[in-house]
């Protein structure tokens, strides 16, 4: 992997040297944490980059570096991009937060956008997506489809983003099926196909006929396919190669509209530092096609839920809701505020087990 | 907590499958080390085997040809190591580490066109009525060909090392290459063959991950299995059956901790996640009471004129 980083670095340096001539174009840089072929997180960011090129054509030029480790290397890559005349740089992993802030301080005229972080500056914006809105829809389908009433969930790390997803899926599974139980297995990795496959197999052996995942590979899909009567959902990217069974729907990260909007803002000089947390409504979270494996009425219900979330009429965390220990959290009709959601570190009532601390 | 959710029969069947990649890579490395060569490039050979096997299986539609391709791919990469350490007398530790880094880069290059493709499946062997025997059937008679090949390899390596002239020569080369040379044995040739065997086994182990356990191709998918295999050879004090024991122990505890999590056992997850490593270290300490030492010439370069 390190060798590849070096090679890409060298290739980038060459590419930048060759392209330094055309300066009338707006230059947009992307720093990626994984390979663009990972099929999940980085793949979708790169799709956003390609869509940006398609939309703005000759007026924009994009550069990217993949598999950049979250550390001093990231700072070097960003600095190089800024020195080579990038007008706007997207840094697409949580671990790039401090490097982004550091480099941004050195280049006040370059705009930076950091994905999933919370530190901002005059020339640094942050952006993320409300994946929990998609989880609500998955939860509804999962709760309606399960026959064993056991839903397996492969978690990556016990961080607020993942816990939020578990709670959201659980609340909406329970709404349509009060007998639903969640079995949660922590894999302690974002990406380890063999381990994800094992985790899915274990959950299936223990009776789960629906497997939800918050890890990035398609290994759980392959395991579910082998088991035959288990359904899964695509994560980050559509994973439609496993449709219509076992993958019955998916949550898709769709960064393209945001990338296009922000690049246009740089072009016409209206860019300001903002904090964006968009969901289904703004199209940042997409719901992959719900396949025919899902009964018509469940599909209609899921689409209705999607509509009401998109229009802002319904919030996935709406009271009455209690925390796992039975203490009251949200009163009837009350919705959770973004601060609580961003730092969520508790299960809602009904989920068994403890969050690893 | 619901321990009844754990089915011990399925658990044992699953651990055999989970342990096979480690087992294959480790039994190959055991032969390499018994010949006196330390090849730290197991991880690199595995990942190259994983992509070679995957590519051949996809292109030909035959998983068995895929495994053959994986063995060839792993062996070809190990040939580079053999050239460096046996011909140019390069440092074995550094060459092995370089081989791993090279293998990781090479595999992601080779794998560019194979992301998101489903390989042809190698089904479980049909052993007829044997598979229907309760308990024993699912554990012993419901697996794929390569898993049995792994077990057969352990038995074969043990038998060859213990009972045959070839095994005796191999061990002699590993214990004292100068003495073996004085007796007229071709040290470099024997070691090169051992390295090729190790590479082929590591390649098979890698392909077991990309073709059977996962099955798909993704960069870096061996995720450290090669390093565990290396540790396992030391753990087993260079004895074949202990390699089998160690691989099953490690695979079993990995599976068990996932099962315990699923069953909601109230042990903090972190302890469960580290348990395979802790138990491996513990057993290592216990087994080290056995004073069988490493092969005498392990890691030393040989040249006839020295």
- More confident call, B271 vs B100: B100
Work out the average pLDDT over A27-43. Answer: 84
* Confidence bin at B234 (pLDDT 50/70/90): confident
The larger pLDDT score, comparing residue A182 to residue B3, is at A182
Average predicted confidence (pLDDT) for chain A: 88
Torsion angle in degrees (nearest 10) through CA of A36, A41, A46, A47? 120
Please give the residue that has the higher pLDDT: either B281 or A51.
A51
The whole-chain average pLDDT of chain B stands at 89
Q: Looking at the predicted structure, is the pLDDT value of residue B213 above 80?
A: yes
A268-290: average pLDDT: 92
CB-closest option in B14, B218, B263 to A38: B218
Tell me, what's the pLDDT at A22? 46
A61 pLDDT more than 50? yes
- State the CB neighbour count (10 A cutoff) for residue B61: 11
Q: Per-residue confidence at A13, pLDDT binned at 50, 70, 90?
A: low
DSSP label of B115: T
Residue B3 pLDDT > 80, yes or no? no
Average pLDDT (B105-113) is: 90
Say yes or no for a CB contact (<8 Å) between A37 and B255: no
Q: In what order do the strands lie in the sheet with A26-31?
A: A60-65, A26-31, A88-91, A111-115, A124-129, A275-278
Q: Is A38 on the interface with B (CB under 8 A)?
A: yes
Is A218 touching B (CB cutoff 8 A)? Answer: yes
Which residues of chain A neighbour B213 with C-beta distances below 8 Å? 194, 197-198
**Residue B238 to residue B234: CA distance in whole angstroms:** 6
Flag if B118 and A198 touch (Cβ within 8 Å).
Answer: no
Question: What one-character-per-residue DSSP string does B6-53 give?
Answer: --HHHHHHHHHHHHHHHHHHHHHHHHHHHTT---TTHHHHHHHHHHHH
What percent of chain B is predicted at pLDDT more than 90? 56
Q: Which band of pLDDT confidence, cut at 50, 70 and 90, is reported for residue A11?
A: low
All residues of chain B having their beta carbon less than 8 Å from the beta carbon of residue A220 are none
Kindly report which listed range (A36-45, A136-145, A255-264, B281-290) carries the lowest average pLDDT score. B281-290
CA distances to A117, A151, A183, B8, B109 from A348, in Å: 25, 16, 14, 32, 45
- Cβ contact A186–B269 (<8 Å): yes
A273 φ/ψ sector (left φ>0, alpha ψ -120 to 50, else beta): beta
pLDDT score of A330 more than 50 = yes
**Cβ of B8 under 8 Å from any chain A Cβ?**
no
Q: Is A253 helix (H, G, I), strand (E, B) or coil?
A: strand
d(CA A46, CA A53): 11
Q: Is the pLDDT of residue A1 over 90?
A: no
For residue B259, give how far its alpha carbon lies from the nearest alpha carbon of chain A (Å).
Answer: 6
What are the Cα distances from residue A144, in Å, to A155, A177, A206, A209, B301?
21, 6, 19, 12, 65
* pLDDT at residue A21, as a whole number: 46
pLDDT of A40 over the 90 cut: no
What DSSP state is assigned to residue B120? P
Residue to substitute from A1, A2, A3, A162, interface B, most B β-carbons within 10 A: A3
Q: What is the pLDDT of residue A20?
A: 46
Tell which wins on pLDDT, A179 or A34. Answer: A179
**How many C-beta atoms lie closer than 10 Å to residue B25's C-beta?**
36
pLDDT of B1 above 60: no
Count of CB atoms situated within 10 Å of the CB of A318: 14
Beta carbons within 10 angstroms of residue B112's beta carbon: 11
Residue A88 reports pLDDT greater than 50: yes
Check CB contact under 8 Å for B218 and A353: no
Cβ of A205 within 8 Å of Cβ of B225? The answer is: no
Taking one residue from A and the other from B, the number of pairs with CB-CB distance under 8 angstroms is 108
Contact residues on chain B for A213, CB-CB shorter than 8 A = none
> Please, which pLDDT band fits residue B173 given cuts at 50, 70 and 90?
very high
CB of B207 within 8 Å of a chain A CB? The answer is no
Residues of B in contact with A218 (CB under 8 A): 116, 216
Question: Is the CB of B267 inside 8 Å of chain A's CB atoms?
Answer: no
In tens, the pLDDT along B52-92 reads 999 999 999 999 999 999 999 999 999 999 999 999 999 99
Residue of B99, B101, B216, B265 to mutate, interface with A, max A Cβ within 10 Å? B216
In chain A, % of residues over pLDDT 70: 93
Q: B3 at the A interface (CB within 8 A)?
A: no
Among A20-29, A82-91, A106-115, A182-191, the range scoring the smallest mean pLDDT is A20-29
- Cα dist. A246→A181, B40, B121, B216 in Å? 20, 40, 17, 16
User: Is some CB atom of chain B closer than 8 A to the CB atom of A267?
Assistant: no
Q: What is the pTM of this model?
A: 0.80
Query: pLDDT: is A342 or A298 the higher one?
Result: A298
Residue B273 tokens, joined: 């996640």
Q: How many Cα atoms sit within 13 Å of A41 on the Cβ side?
A: 22
> Which residues in chain A are closer than 8 Å to B5, comparing Cβ atoms?
206-207
């Amino acid at each position: 992997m390190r060798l590849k980083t070096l090679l890409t670095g060298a290739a980038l340096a060459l590419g930048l040297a060759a392209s330094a001539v055309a300066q009338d174009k707006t230059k947009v840089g992307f720093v990626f944490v994984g390979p663009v072929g990972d099929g999940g997180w980085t793949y979708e960011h790169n799709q956003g980059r390609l869509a940006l090129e398609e939309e703005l054509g000759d007026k924009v030029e994009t550069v990217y570096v993949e598999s950049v480790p979250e550390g001093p290397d990231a700072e070097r890559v960003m600095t190089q991009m800024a020195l080579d005349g990038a007008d706007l740089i997207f840094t697409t992993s949580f671990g790039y937060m401090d490097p982004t802030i550091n480099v941004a301080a050195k280049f006040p005229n370059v705009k930076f956008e950091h994905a999933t972080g919370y530190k901002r500056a005059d020339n640094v914006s942050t952006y993320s997506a409300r994946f929990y809105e998609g989880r609500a829809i998955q939860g509804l389908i999962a709760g309606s489809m399960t026959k064993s009433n056991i839903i397996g969930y492969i978690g990556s790390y016990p961080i607020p983003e993942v816990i939020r997803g578990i709670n959201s899926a659980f609340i909406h599974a329970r709404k349509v099926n009060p007998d639903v139980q969640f079995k949660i297995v922590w894999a302690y990795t974002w990406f380890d196909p063999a381990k994800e496959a094992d985790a899915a197999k274990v959950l299936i052996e223990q009776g789960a006929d629906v497997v939800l995942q918050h890890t990035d590979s398609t290994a759980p899909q392959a395991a579910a396919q082998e088991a035959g009567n288990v359904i899964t959902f695509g994560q980050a990217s559509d994973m439609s190669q496993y449709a219509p069974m076992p993958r019955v729907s998916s949550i898709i990260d769709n960064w393209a509209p945001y990338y296009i909007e922000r690049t246009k803002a740089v072009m016409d000089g209206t860019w300001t530092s903002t904090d964006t947390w968009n969901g289904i409504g703004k199209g940042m979270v997409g719901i992959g096609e719900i396949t025919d494996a899902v009964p018509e009425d469940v599909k209609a219900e899921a689409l209705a839920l999607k509509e009401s979330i998109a229009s802002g009429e319904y919030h996935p965390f709406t009271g009455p809701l209690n925390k796992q220990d039975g203490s009251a959290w949200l009163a009837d009709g009350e919705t959770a505020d973004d601060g609580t959601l961003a730092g969520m570190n508790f299960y809602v009532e009904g989920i068994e087990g403890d969050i690893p601390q | 907590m619901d321990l009844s959710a754990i089915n011990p029969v399925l658990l044992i069947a699953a651990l055999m499958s989970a342990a096979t990649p480690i087992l294959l890579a480790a039994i190959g490395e055991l032969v390499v080390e018994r010949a006196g060569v330390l090849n730290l490039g197991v991880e690199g050979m595995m990942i190259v085997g994983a992509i070679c096997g995957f590519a051949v299986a996809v292109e030909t539609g035959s998983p068995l040809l895929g495994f053959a391709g994986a063995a060839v791919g792993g062996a070809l990469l190990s040939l580079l190591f053999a050239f460096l350490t046996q011909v140019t007398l390069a440092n074995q530790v550094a060459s092995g580490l370089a081989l791993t880094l090279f293998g990781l880069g090479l595999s992601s290059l080779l794998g560019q066109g194979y992301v998101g493709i489903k390989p042809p499946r190698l089904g479980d062997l049909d052993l007829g009525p044997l598979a229907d025997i309760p308990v024993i059937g699912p554990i012993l008679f419901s697996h794929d060909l390569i898993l049995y090949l792994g077990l057969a390899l352990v038995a074969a390596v043990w038998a060859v090392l213990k009972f045959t002239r070839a095994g005796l020569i191999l061990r002699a080369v590993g214990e004292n290459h100068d003495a073996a040379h004085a007796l007229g044995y071709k040290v470099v040739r024997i070691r090169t063959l051992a390295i090729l065997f190790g590479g082929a086994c590591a390649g098979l182990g890698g392909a077991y991950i990309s073709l059977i356990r996962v099955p798909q191709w993704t960069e870096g998918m061996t995720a450290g299995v090669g390093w565990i295999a290396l540790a396992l050879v030391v753990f087993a004090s260079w004895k074949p059956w202990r390699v089998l024991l160690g691989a099953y122990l490690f695979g079993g505890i990995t599976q068990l901790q996932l099962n315990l999590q699923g069953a909601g056992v109230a042990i903090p997850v972190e302890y469960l996640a580290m348990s395979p490593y802790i138990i491996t270290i513990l057993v290592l300490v216990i087994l080290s009471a056995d004073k069988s030492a490493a092969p005498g010439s392990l890691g030393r370069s040989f040249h006839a004129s020295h």
